[in-house]
Amino acid sequence: MGDVVLRPPGDKSISHRALLFAALARGVSEITNLLPSEDLRSTGRVLRQLGVEVSPIQAGRAVRVHGRGPRLRPPSGTLHCGNSGTTARLLLGVLAAQPFSARVTGDSSLRRRPMRRVTVPLASMGARFPRGDERLPLEVRGGRLVPLDYASPVASGQVKSAIMLAALTGRVPVRIAEPFRSRDHSERLLEALGLDVGADNGAIVLVPDDVPPFQFTIPGDASSAAFLVAAALLAKNQTRLVLRDVGVNPTRSGFLQVLRRMGARVARQRRRVVQGEPIADLIVDASPLRGTVIRASEIPSLVDEVPVLAVLAARAEGTTVFHRVGELRVKESDRLGLLAANLGRL
């Protein structure tokens, strides 16, 4: 059989960040291949409530964002983030320096998810959460911020991005250290746009400045690609899968390194960089797999792919061990418990 050629949808994490940075720019940005999901529509909706003009988020259409700069408009009502944890946590960073109060909430699932990992550093910068900072709904009272040198207890791209967004809107420098390297889409895009983003003994340092308007074609989503890669690896025929324009950022594509250890035949072609993000075509052939050990330091780069890797591990020869995956118990569902239960039924 011939090759099967597919393009994954736009990367969700990068799509959120592109919308938020475009909102803080002064001028019009244009984003193509933005993921047209409910989570991204939640981000678009709350930005419109804050006075940012965002064109409709629809499949196959470029999204135009008329940025307002770092100062946004007080919302007329509650900012509802739907089921999107990324929207909620990054929005708290945007609101931390605004000269007004805002109320942030989400659906019943999102209201159960922890927020202190973001609210604690934001409070250290000067944001206030007068009615508690554990979970949504939260009231955020923004104001004048102070610089922050923060050692995060968790490796989280959302925590890091929230602090960087607060730095941009509050015009204060920040330094963020993590126990392991987390996804770095924010710093890659800001650096590509000419902002002062650097490293200091493994920590990220941002000296804020104006965000310029930009054009960006979002890379294909690595997490979506992982399911297609898994299906191709388990295929019984000789079909080769070609996935075009996939984001292969090393802080997001750890599953590819794990698959290589498991014996998977996955090659990269047409490597290139767009707005700081590495992109490639993935060429996948069916492969016999063997078990492996996935270290705690690898988890931040593949946490969303643990479910599909667990499915592949069930079809591999030998035992596969995942270390430090407790984060999966506090996602939209208890992903870890549901994985164990459903694989057990098989």
Catalytic residues: 304
Report which of 28, 37, 30 is spatially closest to residue 10, judged by C-alpha positions.
Answer: 37
3-state SS track over the chain: CCCEEECCCECHHHHHHHHHHHHHCEEEEEEECCCCCHHHHHHHHHHHHCCCEECCCCCCCCEEEEEECCCCCCCCCCEECCCCHHHHHHHHHHHCCCCCEEEEECCCCHHHCCCHHHHHHHHHHCCECCCCCCCCCEEEECCCCCCEEEECCCCCHHHHHHHHHHHHHHCCCEEEECCCCCCCHHHHHHHHCCCEEEEECCEEEEECCCCCCCEEECCECHHHHHHHHHHHHCCCCCCCEEEEEEECCCCCCHHHHHHHHCCCEEEEEEEEEECCEEEEEEEEECCCCECCEECHHHHHHCHHHHHHHHHHHHHCECCCEECCCHHHHHCCCCHHHHHHHHHHHC
Four-CA torsion 74, 77, 83, 86, nearest 10 degrees: 10
C-alpha span between 56 and 29 (Å, rounded): 14
